[in-house]
Amino acid sequence: MTTIDTLNSEPTALPQHVAIIMDGNGRWAQLQGKGRVVGHKAGVESVRDCVSTAREMGVKALTLFAFSSENWQRPAAEVSVLMDLFMFVLTREVKRLHKNNIRFQVIGDKSRFSTKLQQKITDAEQLTKNNDAMVLSVAANYGGRWDIAQASKKIAQLAVAGEINVSDIDEHMLNNHINLSNLPELDLLIRTGGDFRISNFLLWQAAYAEFYFTDKLWPDFKAESFKQALASFSARERRFGKTGEQVNLSTKKD
Ligand code: IPE
Ligand code: IPE
Ligand code: MG
């Protein structure tokens, strides 16, 4: 069994910020001759497993892709089940998150959700806002392009109001208006379900993330699989544009 402990015991090798594209629910259910919805329900267990494992391992931020801005194009019945499930899970799990000192937030365009769901989200965010063991961000009605566009819009408003000059606009400013900028940089991006794509997830934030793709379908991705992804991360050499020699030299100096 490979765990993060067996591969690398350095605490620095643990990713501070992990994001997951939780894919493969529908196929998981279909493989058992069941409807796609069964897969979404089963996937909730994997969410619980990964949240608690991340928290136990000391990951500082976990960001989960639950519903993309493109997922509205699915059959109305499936969308409606996903919304109900979100509501149900939020109601059931928020106390546990709070007890575990986890801050919860939703990123994405919330305005398209029902008022009831929006209220539930706000309540959960309010309740957990001072927790500091880990930040759990759920991306719902989220798109990476939307995120970059909404940041640009805010900056344009500042420019129009005369609060900034156009010449002040740089990567740093854009970054400050993008979601998750208050968290550690994204270190590890996991995608389950066997596909090799980002599906409009954290386009900006993934600039230097390590990618981890697995064939495992989301409902089969449990604590042990999560630990395997962390172990894989700990064995990577992150060069950030430098040469391997430069990186090795600076790690030796530390
Ligand atoms: C991911 O599983 C969950 C959501 C996108 C909401 P899918 O529903 O995409 O499952 P597959 O990819 O069709 O198997
Ligand atoms: C990505 O999965 C979105 C979520 C996991 C919420 P999709 O199943 O929607 O991705 P594509 O359409 O196959 O790229
Ligand atoms: Mg899918």
Catalytic residue among 23, 25, 147, 187: 23
* Contacts (Cβ under 8 Å, ≥6 apart) of 114: 83
Does 224 reside within a domain?
A: yes
Measured distance CA(159)–CA(11) in Å, rounded: 43
In the block, which residue shows the tokens 């008022």? Answer: 115
Whole-number pLDDT of residue 254: 63
Q: Would the pLDDT of 9 be above 70? A: no
Find, among 15, 12, 9, 48, the residue nearest to 230 by Cα. 15
Does 243 reside within a domain?
A: no
Distance 186 CA to ligand 1 centre (A): 23
Q: Which residues are 142's β-sheet partners?
A: 68
CATH number at residue 183: 3.40.1180.10
Does 253 reside within a domain?
A: no
Does 154 reside within a domain?
A: yes
Does 240 reside within a domain?
A: no
Does 31 reside within a domain?
A: yes
Does 254 reside within a domain?
A: no
pLDDT digits (tens, 9 = 90+) for 154-192: 999 999 999 999 999 999 999 999 999 999 999 999 999
- Report which DSSP code applies to 244: H
pLDDT digits (tens, 9 = 90+) for 80-94: 999 999 999 999 999
Find, among 165, 151, 51, the residue nearest to 101 by Cα. 51
Whole-number pLDDT of residue 250: 87
Catalytic residue among 8, 49, 71, 220: 71
Find, among 178, 174, 144, 148, the residue nearest to 159 by Cα. 174
Please give the model's pTM, rounded to 2 decimal places.
0.94
Q: Would the pLDDT of 5 be above 50? A: no
Cβ contact 19:186 at 8 Å: yes
Number of Cα atoms under 13 Å in the Cβ half of residue 20: 31
86: left (phi over 0), alpha (psi -120 to 50) or beta: alpha
The total domain count for the chain is 1
Domain that holds residue 183: 7-234
168 is catalytic: no
